[in-house]
Structure 1
Amino acid sequence: MTDTALTSEATHGVALSDVAADKVRSLLEQEGRDDLRLRVAVQPGGCSGLIYQLYFDERLLEGDATRDFDGVEVVVDPMSAPYLDGASIDFEDSIQKQGFTIDNPNASGSCACGDSFH
Protein backbone atom coordinates (compact mmCIF):
# COMPACT_ATOMS: atom_id res chain seq x y z
CA MET A 1 0.00 0.00 0.00
CA THR A 2 2.88 2.37 0.68
CA ASP A 3 4.32 1.75 -2.80
CA THR A 4 1.02 2.74 -4.40
CA ALA A 5 0.87 5.93 -2.35
CA LEU A 6 4.42 6.86 -3.35
CA THR A 7 3.82 5.95 -6.99
CA SER A 8 0.63 7.96 -7.29
CA GLU A 9 2.36 11.07 -5.92
CA ALA A 10 5.12 11.04 -8.54
CA THR A 11 4.35 13.20 -11.55
CA HIS A 12 5.96 13.69 -14.95
CA GLY A 13 6.45 16.46 -17.49
CA VAL A 14 4.40 15.02 -20.35
CA ALA A 15 1.39 17.08 -21.45
CA LEU A 16 -1.74 15.75 -23.13
CA SER A 17 -3.79 18.11 -25.29
CA ASP A 18 -7.55 18.35 -24.81
CA VAL A 19 -8.07 16.82 -28.27
CA ALA A 20 -5.81 13.87 -27.42
CA ALA A 21 -7.51 13.40 -24.03
CA ASP A 22 -10.92 13.35 -25.75
CA LYS A 23 -9.65 10.72 -28.22
CA VAL A 24 -8.26 8.56 -25.40
CA ARG A 25 -11.56 8.88 -23.53
CA SER A 26 -13.44 7.86 -26.68
CA LEU A 27 -11.21 4.82 -27.24
CA LEU A 28 -11.66 3.72 -23.62
CA GLU A 29 -15.45 4.04 -23.95
CA GLN A 30 -15.34 1.90 -27.12
CA GLU A 31 -13.41 -0.73 -25.18
CA GLY A 32 -15.86 -0.50 -22.30
CA ARG A 33 -12.98 -0.11 -19.85
CA ASP A 34 -12.41 2.44 -17.13
CA ASP A 35 -9.43 0.72 -15.53
CA LEU A 36 -6.86 1.54 -18.24
CA ARG A 37 -4.22 4.26 -18.34
CA LEU A 38 -2.36 5.69 -21.32
CA ARG A 39 1.26 4.60 -20.97
CA VAL A 40 3.92 6.61 -22.79
CA ALA A 41 7.35 5.02 -23.05
CA VAL A 42 10.64 5.27 -24.90
CA GLN A 43 12.48 2.15 -26.01
CA PRO A 44 15.63 1.48 -28.03
CA GLY A 45 14.94 0.89 -31.71
CA GLY A 46 13.96 2.59 -34.91
CA CYS A 47 16.30 4.18 -37.41
CA SER A 48 17.23 7.07 -35.08
CA GLY A 49 17.88 5.08 -31.91
CA LEU A 50 14.73 5.50 -29.77
CA ILE A 51 11.07 4.86 -30.49
CA TYR A 52 7.93 6.08 -28.78
CA GLN A 53 5.35 3.68 -27.47
CA LEU A 54 1.78 4.66 -26.58
CA TYR A 55 -0.56 1.97 -25.32
CA PHE A 56 -3.24 1.27 -22.77
CA ASP A 57 -2.09 -0.42 -19.59
CA GLU A 58 -4.03 -1.59 -16.57
CA ARG A 59 -0.86 -1.94 -14.50
CA LEU A 60 0.82 0.68 -12.35
CA LEU A 61 4.42 -0.34 -11.73
CA GLU A 62 6.83 0.74 -9.02
CA GLY A 63 8.42 4.06 -9.88
CA ASP A 64 5.78 5.02 -12.46
CA ALA A 65 4.91 8.70 -12.59
CA THR A 66 1.28 9.59 -13.27
CA ARG A 67 -0.59 12.70 -14.28
CA ASP A 68 -4.32 13.15 -14.68
CA PHE A 69 -5.84 15.08 -17.58
CA ASP A 70 -9.53 15.49 -16.76
CA GLY A 71 -10.01 11.80 -16.03
CA VAL A 72 -7.39 10.44 -18.45
CA GLU A 73 -4.41 9.10 -16.55
CA VAL A 74 -1.06 9.26 -18.37
CA VAL A 75 1.71 7.03 -16.98
CA VAL A 76 5.46 7.26 -17.65
CA ASP A 77 8.04 4.78 -16.36
CA PRO A 78 11.17 6.10 -14.58
CA MET A 79 13.53 5.17 -17.45
CA SER A 80 11.45 7.04 -20.06
CA ALA A 81 10.64 10.13 -17.97
CA PRO A 82 13.90 12.04 -18.68
CA TYR A 83 13.51 11.53 -22.44
CA LEU A 84 9.89 12.72 -22.35
CA ASP A 85 10.12 15.68 -19.95
CA GLY A 86 8.40 18.63 -21.62
CA ALA A 87 6.92 16.51 -24.44
CA SER A 88 3.34 17.10 -25.52
CA ILE A 89 0.96 14.55 -27.01
CA ASP A 90 -1.71 15.66 -29.45
CA PHE A 91 -4.13 13.91 -31.79
CA GLU A 92 -4.23 14.84 -35.47
CA ASP A 93 -7.22 14.02 -37.63
CA SER A 94 -6.70 15.38 -41.12
CA ILE A 95 -6.95 14.15 -44.68
CA GLN A 96 -3.21 13.43 -44.60
CA LYS A 97 -2.85 11.80 -41.20
CA GLN A 98 -4.83 10.41 -38.32
CA GLY A 99 -3.14 9.51 -35.08
CA PHE A 100 -1.35 10.63 -31.98
CA THR A 101 1.64 12.92 -32.39
CA ILE A 102 4.43 13.67 -29.92
CA ASP A 103 6.26 16.97 -29.87
CA ASN A 104 9.41 16.35 -27.86
CA PRO A 105 11.88 19.17 -27.15
CA ASN A 106 14.45 16.57 -26.00
CA ALA A 107 14.72 15.01 -29.47
CA SER A 108 17.78 16.38 -31.25
CA GLY A 109 16.77 14.68 -34.49
CA SER A 110 14.30 12.21 -35.90
CA CYS A 111 13.86 9.93 -38.86
CA ALA A 112 11.72 10.69 -41.89
CA CYS A 113 8.85 8.49 -40.66
CA GLY A 114 8.69 10.43 -37.38
CA ASP A 115 8.47 7.30 -35.25
CA SER A 116 11.97 7.40 -33.81
CA PHE A 117 14.34 10.04 -32.48
CA HIS A 118 17.71 10.63 -30.84
Structure 2
Amino acid sequence: MSTETTSTETTTDTTGINLTEVAAVKVKALLEQEGRDDLRLRVAVQPGGCSGLRYQLFFDERDLDGDVVKDFNGVGVVVDRMSAPYLMGATIDFADRIDAQGFTIDNPNAGGSCACGDSFH
Protein backbone atom coordinates (compact mmCIF):
# COMPACT_ATOMS: atom_id res chain seq x y z
CA MET A 1 0.00 0.00 0.00
CA SER A 2 1.49 3.35 -1.00
CA THR A 3 0.67 6.75 0.33
CA GLU A 4 0.76 9.88 -1.78
CA THR A 5 0.99 13.47 -0.69
CA THR A 6 -0.21 16.50 -2.58
CA SER A 7 2.06 19.44 -3.25
CA THR A 8 0.65 21.37 -0.27
CA GLU A 9 1.14 18.62 2.28
CA THR A 10 4.10 16.98 3.88
CA THR A 11 4.41 13.41 5.06
CA THR A 12 4.48 13.51 8.85
CA ASP A 13 7.64 12.16 10.42
CA THR A 14 7.13 11.48 14.12
CA THR A 15 10.88 11.13 14.71
CA GLY A 16 11.70 14.76 14.02
CA ILE A 17 10.45 18.09 12.82
CA ASN A 18 8.55 18.51 9.55
CA LEU A 19 8.38 21.41 7.09
CA THR A 20 5.50 21.74 4.65
CA GLU A 21 6.24 22.47 1.03
CA VAL A 22 4.63 25.91 1.40
CA ALA A 23 6.92 26.73 4.34
CA ALA A 24 9.97 25.41 2.47
CA VAL A 25 9.21 27.70 -0.48
CA LYS A 26 8.88 30.68 1.88
CA VAL A 27 12.15 29.84 3.66
CA LYS A 28 13.91 29.56 0.28
CA ALA A 29 12.55 32.97 -0.75
CA LEU A 30 13.73 34.55 2.50
CA LEU A 31 17.18 33.00 2.11
CA GLU A 32 17.39 34.36 -1.44
CA GLN A 33 16.55 37.82 -0.07
CA GLU A 34 19.41 37.45 2.41
CA GLY A 35 21.73 36.52 -0.46
CA ARG A 36 23.35 33.75 1.54
CA ASP A 37 23.45 30.05 0.85
CA ASP A 38 25.18 29.03 4.09
CA LEU A 39 22.17 29.63 6.36
CA ARG A 40 19.66 27.09 7.64
CA LEU A 41 16.41 27.54 9.51
CA ARG A 42 17.04 26.87 13.20
CA VAL A 43 14.04 25.96 15.34
CA ALA A 44 14.47 26.05 19.09
CA VAL A 45 12.42 25.83 22.25
CA GLN A 46 13.33 28.29 24.99
CA PRO A 47 11.91 28.96 28.46
CA GLY A 48 9.54 31.92 28.47
CA GLY A 49 6.18 33.14 27.34
CA CYS A 50 3.00 32.99 29.35
CA SER A 51 2.70 29.18 28.99
CA GLY A 52 6.27 28.30 29.98
CA LEU A 53 8.03 27.55 26.67
CA ARG A 54 8.28 29.51 23.46
CA TYR A 55 9.42 28.77 19.93
CA GLN A 56 12.28 30.52 18.20
CA LEU A 57 12.78 30.42 14.44
CA PHE A 58 15.80 32.13 12.93
CA PHE A 59 18.47 31.69 10.28
CA ASP A 60 21.73 30.31 11.55
CA GLU A 61 25.08 29.35 10.08
CA ARG A 62 26.37 27.57 13.18
CA ASP A 63 26.81 23.85 13.73
CA LEU A 64 26.30 22.99 17.40
CA ASP A 65 27.19 19.70 19.05
CA GLY A 66 24.18 17.40 18.93
CA ASP A 67 22.24 19.34 16.27
CA VAL A 68 19.61 17.39 14.36
CA VAL A 69 19.61 18.48 10.71
CA LYS A 70 16.98 17.62 8.11
CA ASP A 71 16.71 18.66 4.49
CA PHE A 72 13.39 19.62 2.91
CA ASN A 73 13.78 20.16 -0.84
CA GLY A 74 17.07 22.00 -0.35
CA VAL A 75 16.05 23.82 2.83
CA GLY A 76 18.08 22.82 5.86
CA VAL A 77 16.23 22.77 9.18
CA VAL A 78 18.27 22.50 12.37
CA VAL A 79 17.09 21.63 15.88
CA ASP A 80 19.42 21.63 18.87
CA ARG A 81 19.58 18.50 21.01
CA MET A 82 17.75 20.11 23.97
CA SER A 83 14.83 21.26 21.78
CA ALA A 84 14.53 18.06 19.72
CA PRO A 85 12.37 16.11 22.22
CA TYR A 86 9.87 19.00 22.40
CA LEU A 87 9.62 19.15 18.60
CA MET A 88 9.25 15.44 17.72
CA GLY A 89 6.52 15.21 15.10
CA ALA A 90 5.95 18.99 14.99
CA THR A 91 5.10 20.54 11.63
CA ILE A 92 6.11 24.03 10.52
CA ASP A 93 3.80 25.64 7.99
CA PHE A 94 3.43 29.11 6.51
CA ALA A 95 0.12 30.96 6.29
CA ASP A 96 -0.45 33.96 4.03
CA ARG A 97 -4.11 34.78 4.44
CA ILE A 98 -6.06 37.85 5.48
CA ASP A 99 -6.69 36.35 8.94
CA ALA A 100 -3.20 34.91 9.52
CA GLN A 101 0.29 35.47 8.20
CA GLY A 102 3.56 33.93 9.20
CA PHE A 103 5.06 30.65 10.25
CA THR A 104 2.97 28.33 12.38
CA ILE A 105 4.00 25.27 14.38
CA ASP A 106 1.61 22.39 14.94
CA ASN A 107 3.18 20.50 17.82
CA PRO A 108 1.62 17.25 19.09
CA ASN A 109 3.80 17.50 22.23
CA ALA A 110 2.24 20.77 23.39
CA GLY A 111 -0.26 20.21 26.19
CA GLY A 112 -1.68 23.67 25.66
CA SER A 113 -0.75 27.13 24.47
CA CYS A 114 -1.40 30.74 25.36
CA ALA A 115 -4.07 32.84 23.67
CA CYS A 116 -1.51 34.60 21.44
CA GLY A 117 -0.03 31.27 20.31
CA ASP A 118 3.57 32.32 20.99
CA SER A 119 4.18 29.88 23.83
CA PHE A 120 3.16 26.40 24.96
CA HIS A 121 3.48 23.88 27.75
Please report the TM-score for the alignment, with normalisation by the length of structure 1.
0.89
SS at match of 1:46: coil
- In structure 1, what residue type is equivalent to 2:59? F
Please report the TM-score for the alignment, with normalisation by the length of structure 2.
0.87
- Residue ranges of structure 1 left out of the alignment (5+ in a row): 1-11
Q: 1:88-109: CA deviations, max 9, x gaps?
A: 0000000012100000000000
Aligned to 1:91: 94
- Residue ranges of structure 2 left out of the alignment (5+ in a row): 1-14
Aligned to 1:40: 43
How many residues are matched?
A: 107
Larger RCO, structure (CA 8 Å, separation 6 or more): 1
Q: 1:34-80: CA deviations, max 9, x gaps?
A: 00000000000000000000000011111101000010000000000
Q: Which has the higher helix share?
A: 1
Moved over 2 A (4+): none
Identity across the alignment (%): 77
CA RMSD of aligned residues (A): 0.7
